[in-house]
Amino acid sequence: MAPPGKEAENRRGGLCEEAGVMSGTTATVPKWHVTGDWFDTCRCDVPCPCTFAQRPTYGECDGVLAWHIRDGRYGDVSLDGLNVLMLASFVGNVWAGKHSEPYAAVFLDERADSSQREALQMIFGGQAGSWPAQFGAMFGAEMRGMEYAPVEVEVADDLSSWRAVVPGRVEASGDALDGPTTPEGTRVQSVNMPGSETGPGQVVTWGRARRNHADAFGFEWSRDGQSSKHIPFDWTGP
């Protein structure tokens, strides 16, 4: 894995390989379950076409993806309250299998102890099965690196806003979308999305990015006002 504060060389492979965790099989993976919040900020116009399983607004996309685990257990290991953040980019339609140049880099919560770190690597690296394994196999990203860092994630209880920060490296925030005909206190939401980034059966809450900044692992951008969305996740494995 890339040591904290250092960036790894580009390489094809999953998060577990990048982190130096031995790839196992589902037979050696304990029962696990995690639920929580996911959101992104990206290059696309509102609403992001990728969640409709279409090509990105400008043909290519890059952005910040953040996960906050509200409740989680990997065997006997509690994952409650831990955060994960990813930077990613690609060209084309991921869902149609017509994409290229997929790259990613990951920040894992430095508060995690050794057992929690292994669990996060296994789950988000796709080695523990369930949706992360399915999506990871489809996306096929070349990992630019991974490091442990202070990953801060905040999601308002009423889904009015969300925010993620890796100090000095990444800042992503969004506000729930509204407009002249949106009833006060309600959210603009969609169900049964054909390209839900956290898997089927979840409700998408649409937003607009207040801040979308990254400068890490060769990813560099700073833009505001583009698409952002919140989707809960609920995964069980292996």
What are the DSSP calls for 109-122, one per residue? Answer: ETT--HHHHHHHHH
On whether residue 121 sits in a domain, the answer given is: yes
* Region for residue 59 given its phi and psi (left: phi exceeds 0; alpha: psi -120 to 50; beta: otherwise): left
Q: Which residues, including other chains, have CB under 8 Å from residue 13's CB and lie 6 or more apart?
A: 142, 143
In this structure, are residues 50 and 94 in contact, taking their beta carbons and an 8 Å threshold?
yes
| CA separation for the pair 183, 222 (Å, rounded) | 32
Q: Which two tokens stand for residue 112?
A: 């995690």
Q: What is the pLDDT of residues 189-233, one digit of tens each?
A: 999 999 999 999 999 999 999 999 999 999 999 999 999 999 999
Looking at residue 152, its pLDDT comes to 98
On whether residue 62 sits in a domain, the answer given is: yes
Looking at residue 123, its pLDDT comes to 98
On whether residue 165 sits in a domain, the answer given is: yes
On whether residue 59 sits in a domain, the answer given is: yes
Looking at residue 9, its pLDDT comes to 35
Q: Which domain holds residue 65?
A: 11-19+31-178+186-228
Looking at residue 84, its pLDDT comes to 99
Looking at residue 33, its pLDDT comes to 99
Q: Which two tokens stand for residue 99?
A: 């994409």
Q: How many Å from the N-terminal Cα to the C-terminal Cα in the chain?
A: 24
Whole-number Cα distances in Å, 16 to 11, 55, 120, 188, 226? 12, 29, 9, 36, 32
Q: What is the pLDDT of residues 10-67, one digit of tens each?
A: 344 455 555 544 334 455 899 999 999 999 999 999 999 999 999 999 999 999 999 9
Q: What is the pLDDT of residues 164-194, one digit of tens each?
A: 999 999 999 999 999 999 999 999 999 999 9
Looking at residue 1, its pLDDT comes to 28
DSSP H or E run through 132 = helix 130-139
On whether residue 24 sits in a domain, the answer given is: no
Instruction: Please report, as a single letter, which amino acid is at residue 116.
Output: Q
Structural domains in the chain (count): 1
On whether residue 49 sits in a domain, the answer given is: yes
Q: Is the pTM of this model over 0.95?
A: no
Looking at residue 3, its pLDDT comes to 31
On whether residue 202 sits in a domain, the answer given is: yes
Q: What is the pLDDT of residues 108-152, one digit of tens each?
A: 999 999 999 999 999 999 999 999 999 999 999 999 999 999 999
One DSSP character per residue, 15-70 reads HHHHHTPPP--GGGSPPEEEEEEEEEEESSPSSPGGGGTS--TTSEEEEEEEEEEE
On whether residue 36 sits in a domain, the answer given is: yes
The residue among 205, 3, 10, 16 whose CA lies nearest residue 126 is: 16
Looking at residue 70, its pLDDT comes to 98
* Axis-axis angle for helices 130-139, 114-124 (nearest 10): 60
